Amino acid sequence: MCQGSFGGRSDEYLVWGYGDDSTSRFNGVVLLGNHVSTYNVKEKNGLRYTDFNRTVADALANESILDMQGITEALSRYYYSNGESFENIFVVPEYQSRFEQLANDAIDYYES
């Protein structure tokens, strides 16, 4: 959402984030990890968030607990706003096959 690739939902009740374990004491906060390299962190209006590559990587790594609709929408917006290309998205080899499936779904997302 911070990157402008996913508009979010008005009925979203979970916040996926990073931080120390005490952060998860808040209702609706789910931690994906305790540490993110500063190389993968962006800041906008005082809010820190992961860059798109890290967001995609984390989504693929945690797909079993995530609703992938938001990532699919974000990939679709990325594709069409970048000349119908996924250039500059980097996925580790272990998730490459799954990313290709998700990318195909993203291309057709708004047409279905």
pLDDT digits (tens, 9 = 90+) for 36-84: 788 888 888 887 788 899 889 989 998 988 888 889 999 999 999 999 9
CA dihedral angle for residue 103, residue 104, residue 105, residue 107, rounded to 10 degrees: 90
Mean pLDDT of the chain: 82
Stretch 78-101: mean pLDDT: 95
Cα 75–chain centre separation: 9
Instruction: At 78, list the tokens.
Output: 């990325």
Beta pairing, strands 29-33 & 15-18: parallel
State how far the Cα of 20 lies from the Cα of 67, in Å rounded to an integer. 23
